[in-house]
Structure 1
Amino acid sequence: MVAIQAYLDLPVSLELLVLLVNSALAAAILALLVKLSLALSARPRERLVEQVRSLERSVVSSVSALKNTLERLVSANMNLLSAMEARVKEMDLVARRVSERVDSGFAQIRSALASASASAEVVERLEDLDCVIRDDGLLVYGSYDEKLVAYLTQALRVLESVGFEGLEISRGGSVLHVGRLGELSGRVVYCLKESQRPVRFDARKIMSELGGVIGGGAES
């Protein structure tokens, strides 16, 4: 409503036009009285009557013109206000519909994430992994396709610069899950596991066991 009010603040307001009408009427009446006073002492009655009628017609015509102008201005403003109110209501309806769709979409996403989290396989032991690799491509634990490991290592170096946490790669009827475990002896290490179910890695427990197996301090 603030925007509508600002839009309707015309250079000539209705209050100013009313004031102008009052001023015009007062001026016309004053002029009429002056002419009557002068005419009573110097002119015949017939000419006086004709001048009075002429002044009366002029005043009535001026008032009628101002009245028509005011009516057109009020009508235009009311039409504009009605159109803007209808447009605002339409935009408000569209905004509510968009908000409802967004809320519904978020609810579906939250439901899907909750469902996936509930059914995810939690991996927290080395023996449940296919392998563990370093950021230089060296296999630290287990074994896997060496060519794939080489390509994967190059991709992980790029992803590491954008805050990589996990990766999923479709392989036949299963999915290769890649998780970032942390740092071991100054190198970033990753774990790999193929599974048909969603997988969630417990990096802290895996790193603790890995550090005990190969020696060296582990950093999350």
Structure 2
Amino acid sequence: MIANKKLLRLSPFARRCIKSIIHCVALGYIVWLFYAGITDSLGADPVNTLLNETGIWAIHLLFITLLLSPLAKWLKSPAPIQFRRMLGIYVFVYALAHFSTYILFELQLDMTLVLSEIISRPYIIVGMLAILLLMALTATSFNLIRRKMGKRWQQLHNTIYAILPLALLHFSWSQKTFWQEPIWYWLVGIIILIPRVKHGLSTFRRKQLRQKKLQEKKLSNAA
């Protein structure tokens, strides 16, 4: 006799509590960062600290967001997925804060300097591409848009798995090394992406097999 395993389900109260904690930590930290920057409490180079902290935490939140689906499968519960959209939006918030800090405070909105930096530092283009993809995911994260987009919605949101290597490349390139701190981020990123790559290859093989069978069937019918 096989015992039925109860799925982990969160009560509405527990879900609200967890979401409140996420808001307090994610929103509270970024508000504190900029407040500390304004009040000159971030050390000798507050702009550099803002850039580092917002960039690193955008990657941290991206890691957590991508780990929610494997966690849901491991727990055999949809509960972790309920926080994926919120965390994904915070990834974009931190990435946008990172970019805005660079443009507003580092380059002082000097567009000539902005263009010069983009040309001389290609890692900025990589970072901008990641932010544009995050913007697209955030803008289409609402249920109404999801229903209207249909299958295209999932295709678009699968690009989150491309955003991770882009973000890690931007980070490593900006540090001028793939070793020391960046290598640990790459190791975590590879661990997260391996199951997804395997799933993608498996899906591709199944499609190829179906197409082959259909072609064989057509040839058989023609004969």
TM-score by length of 1: 0.25
Larger radius of gyration: 1
Task: Identify the structure with the greater helix proportion.
Answer: 2
TM-score by length of 2: 0.24
